[in-house]
Amino acid sequence: MENREDKRKKVICDLLNDDMYVPMKEKELAIMLQVAKEDREEFKKLLDELLMEGKIQLTKRGKYIKADAAAEKQCIFGTFISHPKGFGFVEVEGQAEDYYVPEEKTNGAFHLDKVQVVLLTKSKGKRQEVEVVKILERGTEKIVGTFQKSKNFGFVVPDNTKIASDIFIPIERSKGAVDGHKVVVELTSYGGENKKPEGKVVEILGHINDPGVDIMSIVRGYDLPMEFGEKVMNQAERVSNEVSEADRAGRLDLRDVVMVTIDGEDAKDLDDAVSLSMDGENYELGVHIADVTNYVQENSALDREALKRGTSVYLVDRVIPMLPHKLSNGICSLNEGVDRLALSCLMKINKKGEVIDYKIAETVIKVNRRMSYTAVKKILEDKDEETIQEYEELVPMFQQMEELAGILRAKRKKRGSIDFDFPETKIILDREGNPVDIKPYDRNTATKIIEDFMLIANETVAQHFYWQELPFVYRTHENPDPEKIEKLCLFINNFGYGIKTNKEEVHPKEIQKLLTKIEGTPEEALISRLTLRSMKQAKYSVESSGHFGLACQFYCHFTSPIRRYPDLQIHRIIKEQLRGRLKENRIEHYDKILPEVARHSSEMERRADEAERETEKLKKAQYMQARIGNCYEGVISSITSWGIYVELPDTVEGMIHVSKLPGDYFYYDEASYEMIGQDTGKRYKLGEKIRIRVDDIDTMTRTIDFGIPFEWEEKDGEGTNEISSQ
C-alpha cells in the first residue's frame, strides 16, 4: 500500500508530467497544488527527495520540470567544498574527479552544503565546470573561530581556512566574548549578495593562548561529542561491575585456558585476548573479544550514542571514547585475573597457515597476564633474561605465537597482501599541552603478532557469515582508480621501478612487489606514501566486495567493539545466529538498518581520521616554532606548482615556496614531477635529499614554511643538528 508521502509525491509527478504543465517555481507549485502554509516545509522536503531520486528536474532558473533522459544526465548531486578565493568544488560520492564551481556560479552555496548542479561547457584541459542550481541541505550549522571585537559589533575569523568569509556577530549576540576568544558560532544567516554570513556566539572555549583551547577548537570544529548525556551515564552506572552467574549460563567456559592481553603500556580498554596451544602439528589459536553487546542493548541510550559517535577518536592529548569509561575501562575491559564475557573465534591452523577448522562461540574467560608490547618484545627479540624469568611459564606460548604469526604473514604475502610500514610517531606533550618531543612508534614482533592474529580472526568471521548468506557489515577496499595507478607508474619510472597492470587493473601482488623492491632505499618512505595515496579508502559495506589491500575476498571488523560501532553491530548478529534467533523478522530488520549503519560508520571514521591529523599537524607546527632558524636534512615528499614539500626524519612536513628557491625562475614539470629552473636547468626531484631552514610557522593554518639555507648557515654549524636530537 502507498503511504501518505508516496501519494503526495505521485500527485507532484503527475502534475509535472502533464502535457499542459508550464514550468513553475516552488511557491507557484504550492499554490497550484493548494498546499497549506503549515505544510510548505513538508512540501519542500518532498520536492528535494524527488530531485534526489531523479524523478523531477530543476532548471537553471529554479523551475521544476519532469525528468527526461537528457535532463537526467545533467542531474548531479554532491557536496560543495568552498575555497578561500570564492570558487569551490563539488564532490560526488563514488566519483574520483570532483567538479569545479566558478565563483559567480556558487549561487549562495556554503561549505559542505548538499547541492544540485548542472554541467557547464567544459574548458579544454580543465576539470568539468558546473553551476549550483539548488541548495538541498545546509552542511554547516556551527563554526569555530577567533572572535574580534569592534565598537558596535564583532566578527569571527573561522579556523577552517576553506571558509572564505568572516562571520558577522551583532554585539548583543556575542555572549560577552572579547578579542582573542576562541568561540563556537551558530549560523543564523548564510549571507548573500555583498552580505556576510551572520551568527551568534553559543560557546566560549577560552582565550586563544589558554592551555588546551587549541585542541578543543579542533574538537568543536569537527563536532566531536565530548560529554555523555545523563540518560547514557545513568545506564552505564547501572551496569554491574562483575560477571553474574546468570551471564555465565549457557556459555563455553574457557577460564582454565591460558590467555593474555598484549597492548601498549598506557592502554586501558583491553578488548582482545589471545591464547595458543598445539594439537599435534596444528596450532589452536583463540582470539577472544570482549562481549560488549551483553551490556549495550540494541536501541538503548548507550547504543544510540555509540552509533552516533561511530568510533573512539584518538587525539594527541586525549581519547574521546565511543562508550563511557565505566564500560570501556571496566566490565568490558579484559582485565587480568577477573571473569569476563567474550565472543571467541577458536581456530585450528595448520603449518601452511590455513584455517582447517574453527568455532565461533559465546564464552566466559579469565586473562592470566596483562602483557605489554615492550615486555613481549624483550622476551622474543631482545632475549632479556630478567623479563624471560618474570614470565617464565608463558615464554613457550609466546615463541609459538611468533612462529604462527610468521606463517600467517608469509601466507598473506604470498597471495599479495600489501603491508605499508611507515615511520609513525608519537608527540609527547608537557602538562600545559606544549609539544616537547616527537618519538617514533616501535612496530615490533609483539605488535605484529597481534596484527596477524586479529587479521585471521576478522577473515574467518567474515567468510563464515558470507557463506551463511545473512545480513552483515563487511570491511571493504575497492581496487584503485586506473588513472591514479597510471600516474604512480609514471612517477616510479623516475626511480627505475615499474609495476605490471592488466587492462587498467593492478593486482595487489604488484604493489607488494614494488614495496619489497624499495625496502631500505632512500626513496622507500616517499614511494610508499604515494602508493598509499593511489589507493581508495577502505569503508564499511553490507556487500562483501573484497579487500584490495589485504588481497582477500572476505573481511570484517570483529575485534574492537569497545571502540568501533561496526564491530559492536556484527557481534549482535553473531550472537543472534548462535542462539538460533535470526529468524525472518530479524533478518528483515538488519537488512533495513545495516546500509545506514555502514554508511554512517564510514563517515564517522573519516571525521575521526581528519580530526586526528589536524591535531597532529597543529602540535608539529607548535613543536617547530621553537626551532625557527634551525637547519635540517629532509626528503622532498611532494612537488606542486606553488612549491616543494619536504619531510623531515620525524615526519614533520613543511613547504619551500617556489619564490624562495634560489637564483632562478622555477616551474613545475608535470610529466617528470620535477621543479625545474628555467635558466640554469637546476632540478628538484621527488625523493631527493635536501637541506632546509625553518623560516616561519602559522599555527592558525597549521603550516610550516621552509627555506634553503645560505652557505654561511651551513658552515657555522649553528642549529644544524638533526631534528631527532633536539
Domain finish residue from 58, 74, 90: 74
Mean per-residue pLDDT for 552-558?
Answer: 95
Residue at which a domain ends, from 156, 178, 210: 210
Of 71 and 166, the structure prediction assigns the larger pLDDT to 166
Residue 718, pLDDT score: 41
Q: How many CB atoms lie within 10 A of CB 254?
A: 20
Which band of pLDDT confidence, cut at 50, 70 and 90, is reported for residue 721?
very low
User: How much is the pTM?
Assistant: 0.84
Which three-class secondary structure state does DSSP give residue 100?
A: strand
Shared domain check, 466 and 491: no
Q: How many domains does the chain have?
A: 5
Contacts of 720 (CB under 8 A, 6+ apart): 630, 631, 632, 713, 714
Domain boundary among 178, 210, 242: 210
Question: 225-239, 373-387, 662-676: which range is least confident on average?
Answer: 662-676
Residues 335 and 447 in one domain: yes
Per the domain annotation, does 712 fall within a domain?
yes
Q: Given a cut of 60, is residue 375 above it in pLDDT? A: yes
| 290 and 163 assigned to the same domain | no
Indicate if 321 and 344 belong to the same structural domain.
Answer: yes
> What's residue 423's pLDDT?
67
- In this structure, is residue 463 part of a structural domain? yes
In a domain, 547, yes or no: no
Q: Would strands 653-657 and 703-707 be described as parallel, antiparallel, or unpaired?
A: parallel
Per the domain annotation, does 515 fall within a domain? Answer: yes
Same domain, 169 and 285: no
| Residue 527 sits in the same domain as residue 397 | no
Q: Which range, 361-365, 491-495, 504-508, has the best average confidence (pLDDT)?
A: 361-365
Residues 6+ apart with CB under 8 A from 626: none
In this structure, is residue 132 part of a structural domain? no
pLDDT value, residue 722: 44
Residues 367 and 456 in one domain: yes
> pLDDT tens digits for 18-49?
888 888 888 888 888 888 888 888 888 888 88
Average pLDDT of the segment spanning 171-186: 94
User: Span 518-547, mean pLDDT?
Assistant: 85
Domain of residue 509: give its range: 479-535
C-alpha span between 563 and 311 (Å, rounded) = 5
Task: Grade residue 560 by pLDDT with cuts at 50, 70 and 90.
Answer: very high
What's the CATH code of the domain at 169?
2.40.50.700
Give domain status of residue 126, yes or no.
Answer: no
Q: Which helix (H) or strand (E) holds 81?
A: strand 76-82
698-709 residue pLDDT tens: 988 899 999 999
* CATH code of the domain containing 720: 2.40.50.140
Q: Is residue 388 part of a domain?
A: yes
Place of cell 551490556: 295
Claim to verify: residue 483 and residue 463 sit in the same structural domain: no
pLDDT value of residue 119: 81
Q: Are residues 438 and 353 in the same domain?
A: yes
Please give the C-alpha separations between residue 511 and each of 89, 210, 492, 544, 700, in angstroms, as whole numbers: 31, 46, 12, 22, 37
Percent of the chain with pLDDT over 70: 95
The more confident residue out of 361 and 120 is 361
Looking at residue 1, its pLDDT comes to 41
Using the predicted structure, report yes or no on whether residue 711 has a pLDDT greater than 80.
no
**241-244 long-range contacts, CB within 8 A, separation 24+:** 241/330, 241/331, 242/331, 242/338, 242/339, 243/331, 243/338, 243/339, 243/340, 243/341, 243/364
Residue 704 lies in a domain: yes
Residue 58 confidence (pLDDT):
77
Task: Quickly state the pLDDT bin for 74 (edges 50, 70, 90).
Answer: low
- How high is the pLDDT of residue 54? 73
pLDDT above 60 for 181: yes
The 8-class DSSP code of residue 333 comes to S
Residue 164 pLDDT level (bands cut at 50, 70, 90): confident
Tell me the pLDDT band of 440, cut-offs 50, 70 and 90: confident
**Do residues 408 and 302 both lie within one domain?**
yes
Q: What angle do CA 54, 55, 60 make, to 5 degrees?
A: 70
Q: Which of 16-20, 201-205, 282-286, 411-415 is predicted least confidently?
A: 16-20
Share of the chain above pLDDT 90, in %: 61
Give yes or no: residues 165 and 271 share one domain.
no
Ranges 102-106, 383-387, 425-429, 720-724: which has the least confidence = 720-724
Q: Report the b/e string of 365-386 with b at 16+ CB within 10 A.
A: bbbbbbbbbbbbbbbbeeeeee
Residue 294 confidence (pLDDT) above 80 = yes
Same domain, 603 and 712: no
